[in-house]
Amino acid sequence: MNILLIGNGGREHAIAWKLAQSKQIKKLFIAPGNPGTAQCGTNVDIKSDDHDKLLAFAKENKIALAVVGPEDPLAAGIVDRFEEAGIKAFGPSGAAAQLEADKAFAKHIMKANSIPTAESRTFDNFHDAKDYIASRDEAVVIKAAGLAKGKGVFVCDEPSEGILAAEKIMVDKIFGDAGKIILVEDKLLGQEASILALVDSKNIYVLESSQDHKPIGDGDTGPNTGGMGAYSPAPIVTEKMMDQITREILVPTIDGMNRNGTPYKGILYAGIMITQGGPRVLEFNVRFGDPETQPILSRLKSDLLEAMLATCSGTLDKITLRWDQRPAVCVVMASGGYPDSYEKGKVITGIDDAQADEDIVVFHAGTARKDDDIVTSGGRVLGVTALGQTIAKAQAKAYEGVGKINFEKAYYRKDIADKAIKKSVS
């Protein structure tokens, strides 16, 4: 069958890499793709927000399944468009995608269904938000309610920092319309984990756990990014903890979405803070996480296409996924200056050398081809992902791969997976 994957980031390269291993696929198209996805299938020069052209291409090329990677087309209702045209699409409807696209909607679902999360207030006026934040004497988290590419969250230890963050979002409009409404939340203490699950509106199939590293600097310092690295599994998510997360968070969320008239289908990503009082939801995403997808799919032994088709047909209860028991670590190599301004067009060398080891895969995120060279074209450039017998060995191998790759002003964190290593030896 012919498959169309929509997107062009590191997540999409990982999905394309895994889909390309399926014996059921005749042709794999990626729109628009990147130099990495071009090694897995055929890139198509159509942007992910051009729904008309994507749909026309799907019809012309007899696409059996469209897989939507990024959140923007999901929130804009691309799955609805494809399904109305009789083409299966992997992902939630536009209404269900509000779980990520509208944090105020997500909070409503959580509160209505007694799903554990941080206490919060919602504001559409900066002066009201400022007055409320100023009345606080504890740390706050300021969130843009709309889509902000993973950067719309400010963790503020002092209320004065929270006021500045709210001003940046609502007055300076650094995230545009995504910041028209903000949430002011209590800061949760604990360790984060990323829980991804396939959902077919009635069945939930939880994938292997992972942990992302959002801040730009070692030791989780500096501003938040789209993610500087991830590993799977996350030792902090024990079998008992996963059962609790499924019982107290995933099941009531899906039940609540059904009762709300917005049934959920696709991949559901729950960002969890594991506190002393138990797991709490930080946020929901309605697509595969980036960079969590890279280590998770590196460990998946089963056919990803079969799992996606089961999700679309409502038969998740009929599948069983097999996993490589070895841990995986992904280290993101970014452009110098990211998440603020950075230069593009830097020539990248050493990718093939890094991938000479069969346990290392270099996923392209922000790259482009210029003549015979691969060059940087985004903030997060590559995701160097490695398997190892232990989390420490996977980490060492990932950094070994990073050491073989060069581009001007390359930046990466030096402590990806340190938390897991400390947990496993404690």
pLDDT of residue 425: 56
Ordered by start, the domain boundaries in the chain are: 2-93, 119-186, 191-318, 328-421
Please say whether the structural domain 119-186 has been given the CATH code 3.30.1490.20. Answer: yes
Task: Pick 328-421's CATH classification: 2.40.70.10, 3.30.470.10, 3.40.1450.10, 3.90.600.10.
Answer: 3.90.600.10
Report pTM: 0.94
> Rounded to the nearest 5 degrees, what angle is found at the Cα of 155, between the Cα atoms of 152 and 380?
50
pLDDT of residue 424: 65
User: 226 — phi, psi (to 5°)?
Assistant: -75, -10
Say how far apart CA 162 and CA 158 lie, in whole Å. 7
Say how far apart CA 59 and CA 84 lie, in whole Å. 12
Return the CATH superfamily for domain 191-318. ATP-grasp fold, B domain (3.30.470.20)
pLDDT digits (tens, 9 = 90+) for 364-401: 999 999 999 999 999 999 999 999 999 999 999 999 99
User: 291 — phi, psi (to 5°)?
Assistant: -105, 15
Tokens of residue 187, six digits: 């800061």
Q: How do the residues of the chain divide into helix, strand and coil, expressed in percent and rounded to 5?
A: 35, 30, 40
Q: Helix 126-134 vs helix 159-170: angle between axes, to the nearest 10 degrees?
A: 170
User: Is residue 295 within 8 Å of 210, Cβ to Cβ?
Assistant: yes
Helix H or strand E segment including 190: none
Lowest mean pLDDT of 140-154, 165-179, 194-208, name the range. 140-154
Nearest to 190 by CA among 115, 121, 278, 289: 278
**236-246 CB burial, b ≥16 within 10 A, e <16:** bbeeebbebbe
CATH of domain 2-93: 3.40.50.20
CB atoms within 10 A of CB 192: 18
Calculate the alpha carbon distances from 113 to 68, 157, 261, 414 in Å. Answer: 28, 29, 14, 40
pLDDT of residue 150: 73
Nearest to 298 by CA among 327, 264, 277, 334: 327
CA dihedral for 244, 245, 251, 257, sign (positive or negative) = positive
**pLDDT band at 86; cut points 50, 70, 90:** very high
For residue 335, pLDDT over 90 is answered with: yes
- How much is the mean pLDDT over the chain? 96
